């Protein structure tokens, strides 16, 4: 049935030499296994999920979706990022190990897209939060467009020089000022229903500081009930 | 109601907003006693984009692209409700052909939504394979959409008084082919999943909702029908041309996650039945209402009467909403999708209240997961079928 045979290396090539540089070799290995973070907030993620499906199958580019940011090299910001979601996105990006790449997927994450006017809660472009390597327009981009963006990112990685990379890492990676995200007093103490049912008075006054300290000093049952 | 606390060292676990089984950006703060869930607090708003406020500064035709971003799995339904609201408000009739095209598109969209519910639901239970199966069929639906509307997901296809474009040549045959193919696909799913003992073990009796409870919580859609209540807006409050087709309301009386699965799979079969009938007897004629009738402001005039006023050949881009208010609803795959629209004699709606089914259905989650195991949270949340785009809007 299948007339096209897989091009096996013939016997003569077993002794051949491939010349390369450590730089190219590391770039090549890096671009061949870009593991994306399974990150998606809204519509673009559905097209991203189509890529996992059998028609587009982005595993063939070496993209194995990971659920943990600590195992991921690439984050496609699929979907609208709101101001409430922004600290979470920055945290996820910071948790990813170096080298890490960002593809801003969709109009929402490039400029805010259709929510750049009249919306009071969206971030106007994800590059205000994290540095972006490839901008991928579309609302949502078709899976073919995502593959195109991946090809462009791979091209970018293949031209990287290790020294430049380490230099730029030492500097401030973000173009804007550093973020000042404060941990505020948490209202989510895990006693959502219990407050309503038991009317327990103590739980509301627990600030996040005492919550973090609780492991060492306060017996934890005091926190909850 | 006092829960027996066996141990005092409770653990508070944060799930989300970035979590593979949170269906987007839902965040749950779960209090655990060992593996038993004692308390669960859902936190919403991670995808709140202010859709209702944006609607107050957009004409209907400008707002149409936004609505597919509410529920991006069942995109056609959001468009349908967005054009139905002004149509009912201004009493615009749509031609039969447009109505049939709408029904076909809506039912295809329902299948697409239920498919993309089935895959992640099974993936939450630990079965990854159906995820790849459903995308095989779903891509075909996307192809049909792309051929008719030009876009895979965000179609922007419905218009006030009809649809944006007629079906392309040969589309009907492709659609029939898909129906035949898809029925085989459903059989394959059922062979693979329905009798699977591991699957049954995970879903049977998990997340039970009685019929009375379901009504009291205001649930709708498959959540309600799985609890033994035969309530389907396509039958109860007919819109478009659903009363011209022969189909049955899918319902189960068990009220657990398995019943919800069975209802949704049954609905996919019924949708195919509706599509086949609609495709079979789709009438000719215009696909768009070419005469908008507009009533005089003092009193209502009859169609083709003296006071009947023609304003334009087509519904104009600056379509004016008169000073009335109404609530319209459609049966979306997730439940009752409604709009409460208040007009103010202006181009923009004065108020555009969205009643998303996912938001109302999600309310019952803390009650359902209580006293269950931690792993059952995914089963129950999956069986509720939420989409954060419409929950947070």
In a domain, B299, yes or no: no
pLDDT beyond 70 at A10: no
Asked if residue A140 has a cis previous peptide bond (ω within 30° of 0), the answer is: yes
Q: Can you tell me the ipTM of this complex?
A: 0.79
Q: Does B35 lie at the interface with A, CB-CB under 8 angstroms?
A: no
Contact residues on chain A for B58, CB-CB shorter than 8 A: 118
In a domain, B377, yes or no: no
Nearest residue in chain A measured CA to CA from B393: A42
pLDDT beyond 70 at A34: yes
Question: For residue B386, which of B18, B8, B70 has the smallest C-alpha distance?
Answer: B70
The count of structural domains within chain B is: 1
The pLDDT value recorded for residue A45 is 87
The pLDDT value recorded for residue A219 is 43
What domains are defined for chain A? 21-158 (3.40.50.12280)
Locate tokens 């954060």: which residue?
B388
The pLDDT value recorded for residue B298 is 45
Backbone φ and ψ of A66, nearest 5°: -115, 145
Contact residues on chain A for B388, CB-CB shorter than 8 A: 41-42
Give how far B352 is from chain A: nearest CA, Å: 15
In a domain, B1, yes or no: no
Nearest residue in chain B measured CA to CA from A212: B12
In a domain, B2, yes or no: no
Chain B interface, mutation test: which of A36, A46, A70, most B Cβ atoms within 10 Å?
A46
CB pairs under 8 A between A and B: 134
pTM of this structure: 0.79
Q: Are A39 and B18 in contact (CB < 8 Å)?
A: yes
Mean predicted confidence (pLDDT) in A29-34: 86
In a domain, B306, yes or no: no
Pick out chain B residues at pLDDT < 70: 1-8, 286, 288-317
Q: Which of A39, A67, A118 sits opposite B53 (nearest CB)?
A: A118
CATH number reported for the structural domain that contains residue B80 in this entry: 1.10.645.10
In a domain, B13, yes or no: no
Contact residues on chain A for B1, CB-CB shorter than 8 A: 197
Nearest residue in chain B measured CA to CA from A219: B9
The helix or strand, by DSSP H or E, that contains position B131, with its residue range, turns out to be helix B129-149
Burial class for B115, CB neighbours closer than 10 Å (0-12, 13-18, 19+): buried
In a domain, B227, yes or no: yes
Backbone φ and ψ of B317, nearest 5°: -60, -35
In a domain, B7, yes or no: no
Domain that holds residue B73: 49-290+311-364
pLDDT beyond 70 at A2: no
Q: How many CA atoms lie within 13 A of A182 on its CB side?
A: 3
The pLDDT value recorded for residue B9 is 76
Percent pLDDT > 70 in chain A is 65
Binding residue positions of A for [4Fe-4S] cluster: 43-44, 108, 139
Q: Which of A50, A118, A224 sits opposite B57 (nearest CB)?
A: A118
């Amino acid at each position: 049935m299948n007339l096209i045979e897989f091009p096996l290396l013939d016997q003569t090539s077993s002794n051949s030499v491939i010349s390369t540089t450590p730089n190219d070799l590391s770039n090549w290995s890096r671009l061949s296994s870009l593991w994306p973070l399974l990150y998606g907030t809204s519509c673009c993620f559905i097209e991203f999920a189509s890529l996992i499906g059998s028609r587009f199958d982005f595993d063939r580019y070496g993209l194995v979706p990971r659920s943990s940011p600590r195992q991921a090299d690439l984050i496609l910001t699929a979907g609208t990022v709101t101001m409430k979601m922004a600290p979470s996105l920055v945290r996820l990006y910071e948790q990813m190990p170096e080298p890490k790449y960002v593809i801003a997927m969709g109009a929402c994450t490039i400029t805010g897209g259709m929510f750049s006017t009249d919306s009071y809660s969206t971030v106007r472009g994800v590059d205000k939060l994290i540095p972006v390597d490839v901008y991928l327009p579309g609302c949502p981009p078709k899976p073919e467009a995502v593959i195109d963006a991946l090809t462009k990112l791979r091209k970018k990685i293949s031209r990287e020089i290790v020294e430049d990379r380490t230099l730029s890492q030492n500097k401030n990676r973000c173009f804007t000022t550093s973020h000042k995200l404060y941990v505020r007093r948490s209202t989510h103490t895990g006693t959502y229903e219990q407050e309503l049912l038991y009317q327990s008075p103590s739980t509301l006054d627990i600030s996040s500081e005492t919550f973090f300290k609780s492991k060492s000093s306060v017996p934890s049952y005091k926190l909850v009930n | 109601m006092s829960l027996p606390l066996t141990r005092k060292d409770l653990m508070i676990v944060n799930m989300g907003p970035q979590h593979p089984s949170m269906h987007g950006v839902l965040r749950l703060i779960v209090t655990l006693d060992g593996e038993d869930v004692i308390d669960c607090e859902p936190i919403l708003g991670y995808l709140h984009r202010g859709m209702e406020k944006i609607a107050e500064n957009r004409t209907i035709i400008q707002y149409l692209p936004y609505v597919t971003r509410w529920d991006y799995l069942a995109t056609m339904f959001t468009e349908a409700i967005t054009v139905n609201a002004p149509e009912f408000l201004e009493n615009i009739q749509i031609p039969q052909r447009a109505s049939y095209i709408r029904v076909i598109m809506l039912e295809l969209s329902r299948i697409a939504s239920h498919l993309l519910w089935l895959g992640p639901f099974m993936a939450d239970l630990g079965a990854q394979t159906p995820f790849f199966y459903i995308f095989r069929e779903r891509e075909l639906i996307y192809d049909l959409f792309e051929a008719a509307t030009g876009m895979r997901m965000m179609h922007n296809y419905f218009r006030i008084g009809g649809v944006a474009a007629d079906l392309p040549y040969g589309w009907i045959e492709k659609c029939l082919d898909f129906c035949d193919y898809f029925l085989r696909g459903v059989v394959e799913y059922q062979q693979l999943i329905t009798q699977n003992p591991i699957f049954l073990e995970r879903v049977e009796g998990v997340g039970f909702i009685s019929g009375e409870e379901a009504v009291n919580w205001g649930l709708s859609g498959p959540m309600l029908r799985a609890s033994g209540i035969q309530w389907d807006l396509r039958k109860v409050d007919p819109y478009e041309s659903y009363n011209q087709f022969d189909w049955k309301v899918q319902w189960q009386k068990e009220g657990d996650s398995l019943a919800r699965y069975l209802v949704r799979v049954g609905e996919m079969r019924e949708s195919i039945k509706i599509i086949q009938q609609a495709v079979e007897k789709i009438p000719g004629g215009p696909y768009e209402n070419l005469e908008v009738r507009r009533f005089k402001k003092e009193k209502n005039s009859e169609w083709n009467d003296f006071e009947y006023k023609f304003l334009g050949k087509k519904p104009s881009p600056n379509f004016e909403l008169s000073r009335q208010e109404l609530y319209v609803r459609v049966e979306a795959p997730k439940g009752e999708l409604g709009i409460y629209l208040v007009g103010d004699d202006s181009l923009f709606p004065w108020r555009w209240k969205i009643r998303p089914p996912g938001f109302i259905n999600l309310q019952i989650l803390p009650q359902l997961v209580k006293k269950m195991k931690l792993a059952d949270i995914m089963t129950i949340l999956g069986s509720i079928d939420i989409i954060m785009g419409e929950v947070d809007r």
